[in-house]
Amino acid sequence: METVLLLARVLLALIFLVAGMAKLADRGGSKQAVIDFGLPTRLAPLLGLVVPLTELGVAAALVSASTTWWGALAALALLLAFIVGIAINLARGRKPECRCFGQLHSAPAGWSTLIRNAVFAALAAFILWEGREGAGPSLVSWVGTLSAFETAFLVAALLMLGLLAGHWWLLAHMLRQNGRLLVRVEVLENAFAPGSPQTLTHSRNGGQPVEGLPVGSPAPPFNLSGLYGETLTLDALRAPGKPVMLFFTDPNCGPCNALLPQVGSWQDELAYKLSISLISRGTAEENRVKSSEHGLTSVLLQEDWEVSEAYEVTGTPSAVLIRPDGTIGSPVVAGSEAIRSLITRTGDVPPAQLPMQPQPGQGEPCPDCGKVHPRRRTSQNLI
């Protein structure tokens, strides 16, 4: 019985160790999971940190025989909370994204998730049932009783399990990427297919099909983190009653970075009639650097491509307009020139007067000093 109990403790400790470390490495996803499961948004930053730290504490407590009982009690409490949360959402017909193991494994919560947590809870209950005095030997002392051969075999087995876990994670990550690529290829094939609705509807612009959701359809809602841990939603962006332009970018996208100075100018100079928000990827730190460099505001971070996929955006830089009533106001446009054109049409800005663009009359020598002075920009330039 002691061997079975020890194996149960080791298995449960490993599960909570991996889950806690994965959640800490994916803080944004952990906070989003809290929101998706229906908990108050204001609690998301706190729970996104407390839950993984508690899981790591449970893993540490299960190692020592003196703290095993308390660790099992905390594990059971956590697992029961997870089970209740999942069951409530399933009963309501909702299947939020379960980031139980951070980016190592993320899938919509379902009955399989419920069953898995119930099995883990049964392990914790088994340890509790044995009582405080029947927790078995300490894991450290048990390892000390092994022979050199047994210790080497244990280390090799753990390394093999680590390699298998890494291989499984890499395979899952590649499958997800391939899945996104297949979806995008299918969208492009359908767009270019003769007689397809997209080709017939959007071929007016030079005969080129345009991606994105149909104009007039409801804009998909989102709930994303900002650069400083704040939570931003589509409803909040629409609150001022102005059109909202979503600019999809990526920190490692060269054309995006080249366009960011102009985006910062547009945010400032067109703020009275248009809200421009950036949907970016990557870490908050690298996005804060670019935001500070180019004077950007309203930068939202998606974990992967979830918002891009919801809006059927297949590349960066891209942009789409959302009307004040929350419906799609334009097809998705891709590339710097197309985005400038959309800004021109939306803000009624003459093309020659766009920020960072050459303006007529610039380059005329000053009659006093003979030097060239740039024309001073006034509010009339944007009318």
**How do residues 216-251 score in pLDDT, each as one tens digit?**
899 999 989 888 878 888 988 988 889 999 999 988
Residue 243, pLDDT score: 92
Closest CA to 248 of 295, 317, 309: 317
pLDDT of residue 172: 59
| Edge-to-edge strand list for the sheet holding 244-248 | 231-233, 223-225, 299-301, 275-280, 244-248, 318-322, 333-334
Q: How far is it, in rounded angstroms, from Cα 340 to Cα 134?
A: 71
- d(CA 255, CA 296) in angstroms, rounded, equals 16
Q: What is the pLDDT of residues 333-360, one digit of tens each?
A: 988 888 988 888 886 544 433 444 444 4
Does this model's pTM top 0.75? My answer is no
Q: Which stretches of the chain score pLDDT less than 50?
A: 191, 195-209, 349-365, 367, 370-383
Q: Which letter does DSSP use for residue 353 in this model? A: G
- Which tokens is 82 given? 């997870």
- The domains of the chain, with CATH numbers, are 2-145 (no CATH), 223-353 (3.40.30.10)
pLDDT at residue number 35: 77
pLDDT of residue 93: 76
Pair 246, 319: CB distance under 8 Å? yes
How many Å is the Cα radius of gyration of the chain? 27
- Burial tier of 46 (Cβ tally within 10 Å: 0-12, 13-18, 19+): exposed
Buried b (16+ CB within 10 A) or exposed e, 214-233: ebeeebeebbbbbbeeebbe
d(CA 156, CA 18): 19
